[in-house]
Chain A
Amino acid sequence: MDELEFLKQDWKRQEADLPVVSTDSIYEMTHKRSSSLMKWLLYVSIFEFVFWTFLNVLGINAEQIDKFKELHLLEFDIVLTIIQYAVLGFFIYCFYKTYKEVETTSSTRKLMKNILRVRKIVNAYVIYNLAMVILVSIVVFVASAAYDPKFDSLYVIDPDGSKHLPLSIIATFTGFILIFTLVIWLFYKLLYGILLKRLKDNYKKLSKLEMEE
């Protein structure tokens, strides 16, 4: 006799023995995507960490260090790098913690709370980075203006012998910072924006579910 025919009989009988998943559990599963989105946020932040480390390592050479010394920025650069890594490490830790929580939670409300938290973390991180870009640009500009010999030719000598930078130079510099900040902002918008938008959509669906209940 056909073995499979024989098995077919048992196959039908085993249906009574199958596990049953409740409606609530199915709902939860459909929203588990939040956890995979958060995993991606974690990956992106780690990627960023590696990327900046790579750039930093590439940028370290004797010439660069001399340049920093000349501009009196070496200490500033060292402190800044330490702060930058500490902050990045802290954000990675936050992403990891939320991701782990989301992965193990079965409560919709908790999931929603965590989605909001992740959005806050990302926003804080982006704002921190933009603020740093502006701060560093200003510090580098001021230091260059004070110590870089190339800047000497740009100064205007006043009749009383004192010197100052013309307004046009300062305006160009301000414009440059704004454009640079905008580029960095767009970069983050692209890097984290897509994931955040999906999380937001998921959040909306979850809140509708909560209201229906």
Chain B
Amino acid sequence: MDPQLEKQFVTQLEANQNIVHKICRLYTHDRESHNDLFQEITIQLFKAYPKFRGDAKFSTWMYRVALNTAITLYRKKKRSIPTTDYDNVMFKIASTEYDNTVEEQLKLMYAAIRQLNDIDKALVFLYLEDKPYSEISETLGISEVNARVKMNRVKSKLKDLLNV
């Protein structure tokens, strides 16, 4: 890749790195694997960048490549997601204003999401990112109807997990 293009890539990635970090938080459960996944996603994005023509938004393209990388790696490693360590995982409950019950509830929800499979996680991630179904379907390469159906299933799955 020529240096100019590379510079452009690094600038754009730096500006949008939050997306990658959030994906890493969802797919890993300690700082080291977070950093590893961040690096792997960066490498994949870098490799794919020459093919990024700019007809999609950089961030949309990034969601796609980054999620695919996370999903592929997740499948390769077939990580069993521990359900007991969610108290000290990367997720920090953002606000200190919450009372204990709310905080506890959020922790349980994050733990439930961690138990979802790789694709469902990606779906929840994009949903939490407030993406419209049109973009979710484009990013995950499924139809919009399918995305809605899957999302509904994920919601009930989460409900089940939380009620256990």
CA gap between A13 and B129 in the complex, in Å: 12
Complex: A4 Cα to B34 Cα, angstroms: 23
B3 is an interface residue with CB less than 8 A from chain A: yes
Interface centre among A15, A17, A209 (most CB of B within 10 A): A17
Query: Would A18 and B22 count as touching, CB distance under 8 A?
Result: yes
Number of interface residues of A (CB under 8 A): 29
- Given the contacts A26-B10, A29-B43, A2 and B155 also touching, CB distance less than 8 Å: yes
| Closest-CB distance, B136 to chain A (whole angstroms) | 13
Number of interface residues of B (CB under 8 A): 37
A26 in contact with B13 (CB, 8 Å)? yes
Q: Hey, what's the 0/1 contact readout for A196-213 against B, CB within 8 Å counting as 1? A: 000000000100110010
A3→B128 contact, CB < 8 A = no
Determine which of A10, A18, A33 lies in contact with B18 in the assembled complex, contact meaning CB atoms within 8 Å: A18
On chain A, the residues within 8 Å of B109 by CB distance are 3, 6-7
Residue of B nearest to A14 (CB): B94
Which of A4, A15, A18, A30 touches B6 (beta carbons < 8 Å)?
Answer: A30
CB contact under 8 A between A8 and B3, given known A13-B94, A18-B22, A32-B39: no
Q: Is there an interface contact between B155 and A4, defined as CB atoms closer than 8 Å?
A: yes
Closest residue on chain A to residue B20 by CB atoms: A21
Residues of A12-47 whose CB lies within 8 A of B: 13-23, 26-27, 29-30, 32-33
User: B92's contact among A14, A209, A212, by CB below 8 Å, is which?
Assistant: A14
Ranked nearest first, the 7 interchain pairs of A and B with the lowest CB-CB distance are A13-B94, A14-B94, A11-B128, A29-B42, A18-B21, A30-B46, A29-B39
Contacting residue for B94 out of A10, A21, A23, CB 8 A: A10
Q: Given A13-B94, A21-B17, A32-B39, A212–B159 Cβ distance below 8 Å? A: no
Cα of A16 to Cα of B162 in the assembled complex, Å: 27
Q: Which residues of B lie under 8 Å from residue A205 when comparing CB positions?
A: 1, 3, 6
The answer on a CB contact under 8 Å between B106 and A10 is yes
B window 120-164: CB within 8 A of A:
124, 127-130, 155, 158-159, 162
Residues of chain A lying within 8 A (CB to CB) of residue B92: 14, 17
Q: Enumerate 6 A-B pairs (CB-CB under 8 Å) in ascending A order.
A: A10-B93, A14-B92, A14-B93, A15-B22, A18-B21, A29-B43
